[in-house]
Chains A and B, each alone.
Chain A
Amino acid sequence: MAKVKSEHHIRGGINKKPNLAGVAIGSLLIVLFFGFPYVLMFITSLKTRLEVTDIPPAYFPESPRWSNYLDVWSSEVNPASALLSTIVIAGGATLLVLLVATPAAYYIARFRFPGRLVFLLLVLCTQMLQPTVLGVGLFQEFKGWSGYAVWGALILINGAFNLSFAIWIMQAFFASVPKEVDEAALIDGLGRLQTMFRISLPLVWPGIVTAIVFVFVNSWNEYAAALILVQQTNLQPLTVAMPRFLGLYVQDWQYLFTVALIAILPVIVLFGFIEKRLIGGLTAGSVK
């Protein structure tokens, strides 16, 4: 009996159920802290053009103006085209990284070869550089890419600067799959490329998902390169186009925040799907 009790005590010490009041207060603080700017966004998105610049400001709109969420699409800034360019750029960059990083990550996880260290160092170097610090150089390289080609330029830039993180995480995952699995497949007559696609890839899916989400979210929110490179307003992605709601004479804060909230949705849904995977993926990336 005493033994049972002490065991119970030990369990209680480490894995004890956190007390309800503490959890409630902590949760409330977190919700308030991480929610308040977005609450202001939401409230503002339901105000009229006059209400958003009221002095003093009202906490709530007189009557919530849900029609903002429809009207915004026909506003002068044209968020639909901005959304389209963001989707094209972020989607394109993610696809590019997948195509380029997967074979590289697989190979450096599986083989030791002369030059491997140099390659790893090169990848690490790009991790330290960002489009912001290379802005002038990127402008000079891509300034001739006008029209839709500018999307291509941004896909290349977002892809290149997110490569290192993706390779890093994915190679940690490939390395965690025992070599014997691959070798068995090779003996069965599959080529290297087929082995990677049909045997290894399904096993390292969580790592791939983590990489995808990182690249996608980073590209979705990229600002500096788009600011420098995209001159035509109809090709600007959301991050650069949205500040245009704040003109010299008219400041449509309500529309600005309407679009901002709409743009959060796909990302939150994406995160919702992969929350558990994300933590697993980061472990592999950080412990390795």
Chain B
Amino acid sequence: MSLTATPQMVEKAKKRKTSQGWETVRALPWLLPTLILIVAVVLYPAGLMIYTSFFKYNNYGIRRSPDPIGLDNYIGQAGALTFPGVPIGRIILNTVVWVVVVVLVTVLLSLLLAQFLNKPFRGRKLLRLFIILPWACSVVMTATVFRYGLQQNEGLFNRLLVDTGILEVARAWTKDPTAAFWVAVFVAIYVSLPFTTYTILAGLQAVPTDVLEASHVDGASAPQRYWHIVLPLLRPAIAVAALINIINVFNSLPILRILQETPGYHTGHITTTLMYQYQTALGPGVSSALSVLNFLFCLVIIAIYLIIVQPTKEVA
């Protein structure tokens, strides 16, 4: 024992001597590849985008002004927030509804699914694999099959809804901005379920059965056990799942882009899809301005989430 302790002590003594700066330098070779990648592919384009948002461009991406134009791309005559014909208030409301509804319903359904899939029964493994489908299939394809099935005349989902008497006549779901928005909400929940369910399943593995059994002996009912024991223990898992979902859902482009068949600045946009609409119609200047706002907006939503839910209370 003493033999192994000696070199350790020597190393510790060495460490104390070396200056703190030296320790950082020693860490660099290990961290440098990550730093380079983050700076070059995340921070640099972010900076480039902020820079772009202060110049005037046409929709071919050619810069039209040598000097910065202040906040014109944000709130000028043809700015991201003030472009005529864009229902910006509605679109911001849509964005909030989009994130809150999708993430909330996803987490609630996943809690239910995970609880079920955590029961021991034959075929559980196969069933767990089955719910991965929407994760394994690209979001683009899942959204596309919904668009195909919900066509007014050629859509099989529409025919099924009419044949079973749920609908009286087939609807053109994807041609109406509001209807398409809610279809997109459904699809977004649908594709977010696998990851969320798996994360919560992982959390459930960490719930010790002896604690549950003890509380059962003490007379706690199943709902009480779930509310007072299981749910608090699941908190970190739910927190991670919710946070990652907020970021993913906020940045989700393909679902709404594929399911909204109405062209132009309609009332079914969220800020992310509007950004891409601006990119083709108004060029990178205005589009960058909205991207910058979009990112700030995302930060605000995450901050609100962190303040209200305090997901790290137990972990920290």
Contact = CB atoms under 8 A, between A and B. Distances in A.
A272 B126 CA distance: 9
Interface stretch (B86-94, B98-106, B172-180, B199-207): B199-207
B185 to A, nearest CB: 15
A129 B132 contact: no
B276 A135 contact: yes
B52 A37 contact: no
A130 B206 CA distance: 30
Contacts of A184: 4
B34 A10 contact: no
Interface size class of B (residues with CB under 8 A): 35 or more
Nearest to A111: B27
Contacts of A287: 203, 206, 236-237, 315
A128 B298 contact: yes
B40 to A, nearest CB: 8
A122 B48 contact: no
Interface stretch (A63-71, A73-81, A256-264): A256-264
Interface string B232-265: 0000110111001001100111100010000000
A263 B129 CA distance: 16
Interface string B195-216: 0001101110110010011001
Contacts of B47: 137
Contacts, number: 285
Interface in B267-316: 272, 275-276, 279, 284, 287-288, 291, 294-295, 298-299, 302, 315
Interface in A107-138: 107-108, 111, 113-116, 119, 122-123, 125-130, 132-138
Contact of B203 (A134, A221, A286): A286
A124 B125 CA distance: 33
A251 B113 CA distance: 37
A145 interface: no
A37 B119 contact: no
Interface in A187-221: 187, 217, 220-221
Interface in A15-54: 15, 17-18, 23, 26-27, 30-31, 34-35, 37-38, 40-41, 43-44, 52-54
Given A114-B20, A115-B24, A160 B37 contact: yes
Contact of A257 (B34, B145, B236): B145
Interface in B75-131: 113, 116, 119-121, 123, 125, 127-131
A160 B44 CA distance: 12
Contact of A14 (B24, B134, B205, B212): B212
A37 B142 contact: yes
A221 B153 contact: no
A159 B206 contact: no
A285 B202 CA distance: 10
A268 B129 contact: yes
B136 A260 contact: no
A106 B30 contact: yes
B251 A132 contact: yes
A130 to B, nearest CB: 4
Contacts of B138: 220-221, 223, 238-239, 260, 263
Interface string A126-165: 1111101111111111000000000000001101110101
Nearest to A157: B41
Contacts of A115: 24, 27
Interface string B145-186: 110110001111101000000000000000000000000000
Contacts of A108: 31
Main secondary structure of the interface of A (DSSP, over half): helix
A216 to B, nearest CB: 11
Contacts of B7: 187
Interface string A239-279: 10011000000000100110010011001100110010011
Contact of A275 (B129, B295, B302): B129
A56 B32 CA distance: 60
Nearest to B123: A27
A14 B198 contact: no
A140 B284 contact: yes
A257 B144 CA distance: 9
B253 A38 contact: no
A119 B31 contact: yes
A263 B133 CA distance: 12
A1 interface: no
Contact of B137 (A130, A139, A260, A286): A260
A260 B199 CA distance: 26
A282 interface: yes
Contact of A136 (B113, B279, B298): B279
B38 interface: yes
The 8 closest A-B pairs by CB, nearest first: A137-B45, A137-B49, A160-B41, A282-B202, A107-B30, A267-B136, A221-B138, A260-B141
18 contacts: A30-B130, A37-B190, A40-B148, A44-B148, A106-B30, A122-B38, A135-B275, A135-B287, A137-B49, A141-B48, A156-B41, A221-B139, A239-B254, A257-B148, A268-B132, A279-B205, A287-B203, A287-B206
Given A133-B272, A137-B47, 20 more contacts: A15-B120, A40-B149, A55-B154, A107-B30, A108-B31, A113-B23, A129-B42, A132-B252, A133-B291, A135-B279, A161-B41, A184-B4, A242-B144, A260-B145, A263-B138, A264-B136, A275-B129, A282-B237, A283-B203, A287-B206
